[in-house]
Amino acid sequence: MDDELLNNDANLGGDTLNNPLDPFPSSLDIDITSLQTDVVDITPEEPQEEHDFDATRKMCPTRHGCQGATDCDYCGGDYPG
């Protein structure tokens, strides 16, 4: 593991602009602008509250694989029932 970084605060790096390796295509900018033009006359409306979910589906955004057993605010359970 010599070539890996120790997982702690000491390795925090500052954000930098325009990193050539940064995998976020600037061409996307044009597409987003085009979409913005397409909806310029439409009043934005956000979907219902986040808890309006499909009851059979796991909706845990914490992504660490709790498998839906905990009663946290983010977990909708994932049981077939």
Partner 1 sequence: MTKGKNELCDEAIGLLVTYRCNLNCKYCYVHSKKPKEMTLEMAQSILEPFLMKQGGFLDIKFYGGETLMSFTLIKQLVEWVESKTWNRKYRFFGSTNGTLLNNEMKEWFMDHSKLVTMGLSFDGLPDVQLENRGSINIDIDYFISTWPQQTIQMTINTSSVNRMAEGIIYLLEKGAKVHPNVAFEEYEWEDKYILEYCKQLDILADYYSKHEKAPIIIQFEHKLEEYARSLDNHHPQVQVCGAGHGFHVYDVDGSKYPCHLLSPLVLETNQLNMVNKGEIEHAKDFADSKCANCPYTSSCPTCLGCNLIYRNDIRNRDLTHCKIMRAEVRAFIKKEVTRLKKKEVLDSFDAARIAAIRKIYDYEKCHSLL
CA 76 to chain centre: 17
Interface pattern 32-71 for partner 1 (x via CB under 8 A): x-xxx-xx--xxxxxx-xxxxx-xxxxxxxxxxxxxxxxx
- Output the smallest distance, CB 34 to partner 1, in A: 8
- Output the smallest distance, CB 27 to partner 1, in A: 10
Sole residue written with tokens 């979409």: 35
- Output the smallest distance, CB 14 to partner 1, in A: 9
Q: What does the buried/exposed string (b/e) look like for 25-35 if buried means 16 or more CB atoms within 10 Å of the residue's CB? A: eeeeeeeeeee
